[in-house]
Amino acid sequence: MNNKKILLKLSWNNSYQVLVHALHRSKRSLPNLHTPRLQTEISPLLANQILPSGTTILTTGIPVGSSVVRPFRKEVCTWCFAYHDGKTLKYRIDGKIYFYSSACLVVFSEYDPFHILRNTLIEGLYLKCEGEIQDEEVPLTENLADVIQKRWDEVSAWKVAVKRLKISKRQKFYPTVTAEDYAESNLYMDKEQTKNENELSKLLQSSEVEKVKKYPYILVSYTSIYKFVRLVVPDCLLLWVNPNNIRSIIGRNLTNALGIWSSVTEQDEEREYFGFGVHPSASYFNHSCDPNVQKLRVGNRYEFFAYGIRKSDNVKERRRILKECFYVCGCSKCTIELAS
Q: Over 6-71, what HEC string results?
A: CEECCCCCCHHHHHHHHHHHCCCCCCCEECCCCCCCCCCEEECCCCCCCCEEEECCCCCEEEECHH
Same domain, 94 and 243: yes
Top-confidence residue, 13 or 73: 73
317: left (phi over 0), alpha (psi -120 to 50) or beta: alpha
Tens of pLDDT, residues 225-278 = 888 778 777 777 777 788 888 787 777 777 777 888 888 777 677 889 998 888
User: What does the pLDDT read at residue 8?
Assistant: 41
Same domain, 93 and 240: yes
Task: Compute the distance between CA of residue 247 and CA of residue 35 in angstroms, rounded to an integer.
Answer: 31
Report helix, strand or coil for 149: helix
Same domain, 187 and 327: no
Top-confidence residue, 30 or 300: 300
User: Residue 302 pLDDT more than 80?
Assistant: no
Same domain, 231 and 85: yes
In a domain, 271, yes or no: no
In a domain, 172, yes or no: yes
User: Residue 204 pLDDT more than 70?
Assistant: no
Same domain, 39 and 188: no
In sequence order, the 6+-apart residues with CB closer than 8 A to the CB of 174 are 125, 128, 129, 227, 231
User: What does the pLDDT read at residue 303?
Assistant: 74
User: What does the pLDDT read at residue 16?
Assistant: 42
Task: Compute the distance between CA of residue 102 and CA of residue 109 in angstroms, rounded to an integer.
Answer: 11
In a domain, 229, yes or no: yes
Same domain, 56 and 102: no
Same domain, 124 and 157: yes
User: What does the pLDDT read at residue 69?
Assistant: 87
**Rg of the chain taking only CA atoms, in angstroms:** 22
Tens of pLDDT, residues 23-72 = 444 444 566 665 555 444 444 556 667 777 777 877 887 887 788 888 99
In a domain, 335, yes or no: yes
pTM: 0.66
In a domain, 2, yes or no: no
Out of 110-114, 138-142, 152-156, which region has the weakest mean confidence (pLDDT)?
138-142
User: What does the pLDDT read at residue 11?
Assistant: 34
Give the chain's mean pLDDT: 71
